[in-house]
Copies of this chain bind each other. A is one copy, B any other.
Amino acid sequence: GKARVISTELLPNSEAEWKRLVKTTYIGQDGVTRTWEHAERTTRPEGSAFDGVSVVAILEKDTGREILLEKQYRPPLDKICIELPAGLVDKGETAEQAAVRELKEETGYVAQALTTSPIMFNDPGFCNTNFKLVEVSVDMSLPENQNLKPELEENEFIEVFHVKLDDLWDECVRWEAQGYALDARLASFAKGIQIAQ
């Protein structure tokens, strides 16, 4: 079946489990005190400076580099969104551990972390949500990577696919025309590749 929104209602903060609205009182650089509204996740582990990780998994093929992507229905958009593999970090976990674990759970691929980015903020005037981008390598010759066995939650439906890195921007434009939503981190990454070409 096709996933779809049935209804949407205002959610009182007191009943929200995963998200919250907050009001911050701050002093500006002019010395004036003002307030600012923003949204947060309630799930960031105590002591962690970031919420989650996104994974850049490059597959080296004879025909060029390809990147692993996901299609996932997103209720906030009421659309299927095309995204990098991603997930929230568990308490005590490093970004690299979270990236390898989430990639395995969502796609079945066993990978090794190569590099980890600075913390990136998704929408700094709107919310404090943030993540680290972890580049991983996937050894396609490993037996584990032949017979993929993702381990999804009962409410997760994720389709995994890969596309050529060089074509990523053109694909983004095509996907929107086909009715998909685009994740901003993925599409901005694609724009960077395109502008450098």
Contact = CB atoms under 8 A, between A and B. Distances in A.
A50 to B, nearest CB: 11
A91 interface: no
Contact of A121 (B29, B37, B77, B173): B77
Interface in A158-190: 165, 172-173, 175-176, 181-190
A127 interface: yes
A47 interface: no
Given A181-B124, A189-B191, A11 B27 contact: no
A100 interface: no
A24 B122 contact: no
A130 interface: yes
Contacts of A1: 27, 29-31
Interface in A13-31: 13-31
Given A2-B29, A130-B184, A24 B37 contact: no
Contact of A11 (B22, B78, B155, B173): B22
Contacts of A187: 117-118, 120, 133
A41 B76 CA distance: 12
Contacts of A119: 176, 181-182
A3 B29 CA distance: 5
Interface of A: 1-34, 36-41, 56, 58, 72-78, 81, 83, 117-131, 133, 155, 157, 165, 172-173, 175-176, 181-197
